[in-house]
Amino acid sequence: MGTAHPTNAKVQLPKLRGDAPHNPLANPKGKMTMLENFWYAVELSHEVGKTPQSLRLLGKDYVLYRDSDGQVVALDNQCAHRGASLALGWVEGNCLRCPYHGWTYEADGQCSHIPADAPGTPIPKRARLRSYPVQEKYGLVWMFVGSPDLPADRRPPIPAFPQFESPVRPATYSRHEFDAHFTRTMENAIDTSHALFMHKGAIGASNAPQNTEIEDYEVTVSAYELAASLPIKVNRLNGVMRFVLQQDDPEAHKRYRFALPNVTYSAVQFGRYTIESIMVHIPVDDATTVVKSVNIRNFLNQVPGLGQWLDGNTAQVGNQIMQEDDVVVKTQEPQIAPYQDMRQELLVASDATLIAYRKLLKQYAGSAELPEEAITAEPVVG
């Protein structure tokens, strides 16, 4: 684990095997496609059921469903026969049946039945789909979108969020679709200096542009993550926290985390009260990112009516914040955060989280080669 100074971040990252002179994760138009060999958080667990559903990740389609054992299955979405969308099909036991001519696929992607063939006809070798490893954790579905040749024990880990394993009360969820590339939505989530300008109504008044200085802060960086903690400067709170605290200007902190490839985390802490969110940035295509969040809090958990009111209020504020963010984030040029050459923008001391983020991105987007050995990421405690 290393520490990055705001303007001179020294980020120690694992060496990758071989040189990659070009960015293999850029498509011919130079657009970023995908960081490979990572677990992507792709869906909220409770939203995946027995009805197949499509999932689009940077222009490629997958299908998700829950089999009769309750396991989530992820397959390529186009049927091997004639390319129909399997998300229009249906689940039979542990299998998925194509809606067009009824070919049936096992959870491992192998076709096991071609209804139009005479019984006993061998199934063609190519009648199979790629199946992707899936795990469920923290109320999220994680899918390994990487090399099938990479042994399971060499896959980078799913980031650790132990406080979400068994929260004191059920989590709440939110969803917002951004008209922006996922590098921009993630940067927005770990940007430390925009809230006092963009979200005055949602979180409370500040004296912006006075009292907006972000003092130097440390960014902690591990193999796949970064984290930072900053005081919150709000002079007059709105919403839930005003109700709970019954006062203004308390000792308040916000913690930020980013975990490769598509997760951010925030914790807003007012004294002993904490609201925590895992946000997953689902990269639908170059211009669309769906951000879904899992939210927990450690207070007012025992009063059902009040708890629901707080949930509703928090969701409303969260939506307002997302909408305010979306209006600006989609205007940013270049569309993809310039992680290869940061001089395209003018990052200053308060942007230390973004500098560290881009260094991580550059490290892993710069080579499709696999790490030489398994990397045990030291989780950054959120």
- Which residues contact ligand FES (rule: CB under 6 A)? 79, 81-82, 84, 98, 100-103
Choosing among Fe ion, ligand FES, none, which partner's interface includes residue 217 (Cβ < 5 to 8 Å by kind)? none
* 131 to 20, 37, 94, 99: CA distances (angstroms): 27, 15, 13, 19
Helices 304-329 & 182-190 angle (0-180, nearest 10): 120
Report in angstroms how near the CB of residue 114 gets to Fe ion at its nearest: 51
For ligand FES, the closer of residues 91 and 205 by Cβ is 91
Distance in Å from the first CA to the final CA of the chain: 14
> Minimum Å distance from CB 115 to ligand FES?
8
* Residue 117 beta carbon to ligand FES: minimum distance, rounded to whole angstroms: 11
Asked whether the beta carbons of 139 and 146 are under 8 A apart, the reply is: no
Q: How far apart are CA 254 and CA 269, in angstroms?
A: 6
3-state SS, residue 200: helix
For residue 139, the SS3 value is coil
Q: How far is CA 318 from the centre of its chain?
A: 17
Q: Based on C-alpha coordinates, what's the Rg of the chain?
A: 22
156, 261 contact by CB (below 8 A): no
Find which of Fe ion, ligand FES, none residue 299 binds, CB within 5 to 8 Å per kind.
none
Distance, in Å, from the CA atom of 245 to the CA atom of 250, rounded to the nearest integer, reads 8
Residue 110's DSSP bridge partners are 128
Q: Smallest distance, Å, CB 101 to ligand FES? A: 3
* Closest to Fe ion by CB, 97 or 292: 292
Q: Which is nearer to ligand FES, 103 or 270 (CB)?
A: 103
Question: Rounded distance, CA 257 to CA 86, Å?
Answer: 36
Look up residue 161 and give its two tokens. Answer: 């969020």
Q: Which does 325 bind (CB under 5 to 8 A by kind): Fe ion, ligand FES, none?
A: Fe ion
CB of 381 to Fe ion, least distance (A): 24
124 binds, among ligand FES, Fe ion, none (CB under 5 to 8 A by kind): none
205 binds, among ligand FES, Fe ion, none (CB under 5 to 8 A by kind): none
260 binds, among Fe ion, ligand FES, none (CB under 5 to 8 A by kind): none
Judged by beta carbon, residue 286 or residue 325, the one nearer Fe ion is 325
Min dist CB 322 to Fe ion, Å, is: 8
Residue 15 contact among Fe ion, ligand FES, none, beta carbon within 5 to 8 Å by kind: none
Residue 105 or 182: the one with the smaller Cβ distance to Fe ion is 182
Least Cα distance to 129 among 67, 64, 44, 69 occurs for: 64
Nearest-10 crossing angle of helices 182-190, 352-365: 150
Residue nearest to Fe ion (CB): 325
CB nearer to Fe ion: give 12 or 323: 323
The Cα 77–Cα 98 span in angstroms is 10
317-356: which residues touch Fe ion (CB under 5 A)? 325
Closest distance of CB 314 from Fe ion, Å: 15
C-beta of 225 vs 325, nearer to Fe ion: 325
> Residue numbers of the site for Fe ion (CB under 5 A)?
325
